[in-house]
Structure 1
């Protein structure tokens, strides 16, 4: 969304910026894979294979989904309602102040425990795996469906709004929701808290203040 705004404001420099950002993103993903100790699936013989395998981490690929399924088997306590409660309310701005000291644990912590068998917490639990943990195989897509419905609702609001600020932030949120397959409720709720709920609160509050330029008195 920021690139679209940049294109509208600086059309001549947009191509160079887009290429630069795309290249930077590929480098960042590659470096993050190394920092997060993601194993080389090709044993280092093919950078392309390793890159595509690293990308599956961020798009809820089959390996991470399989790890999520095994998490439920190895750590049955992850299915407890307290974990679901913490997954939803702990990342929420404002609410997190009241619940952060509760003796509960994220499902993502159990997932990383299965992934590394250590205290390292760098992998993202895929939302389909999170749904399976709490609702079983048949209802595993429930979280995903709710997020998609929210995205459709916001898309309708985008088409009807005449406010540039509202258009920008709602489009930003919808873009983020479009990454749902590689995310989970913790990432999404935290993002919604900052980019949607907080923005709407400020936007609603600002609507009570109207500044009018006083006309100069005629002499």
Structure 2
């Protein structure tokens, strides 16, 4: 299992940047304390995805912050990124691991307790539970699980899996503390970070909330 720091997991989506340069936004987020970056583009074609993924990877060089690709193992391979985040309907983690190798970071979306239990037998490095709250960043027909659902899925995950588990969807400065208090190891944020007027300042604020909440809970900050 590869170590992954989920405390502030920024997800950059060209559709959620306010028409600003995603590379510069990512630089700002990392300067403010983002610990992991994912490039998500549901509408982009292959060549565009590879081009931007390579540019994002270059921008993160020397920061120690990994770059993951949402869904697309082929793009991760072509661009030489640090790994992928997979949904329940994407390539199976076993196949992704076979293609990407042992050092790649592989994350998995968890939407229900059963999926958390199944993760124990998969070569994944972290899980991310969602959606916790309602969000406009993704068209998701499934209802949000809320804090109670988050606790339930986390409880099942802790019984079966030793890696970190974060949370996603609708998380911002108003509810990040509650998400960590419920047991998550970090927060994945899209609009709250990359639609912010000052992403660096917002990253610093979110990271501060997460670190303080982990300290209070007895986690690692």
Q: Where on the TM-score scale, by shorter chain, does this alignment land: which range?
A: under 0.3
Larger of the two Rg values belongs to structure: 1
Q: Specify which structure has the higher proportion of helix.
A: 1
1 or 2 for the larger relative contact order (CA 8 Å, sep ≥6)? Answer: 2
Q: What TM-score do the two structures reach when normalised by structure 1?
A: 0.26
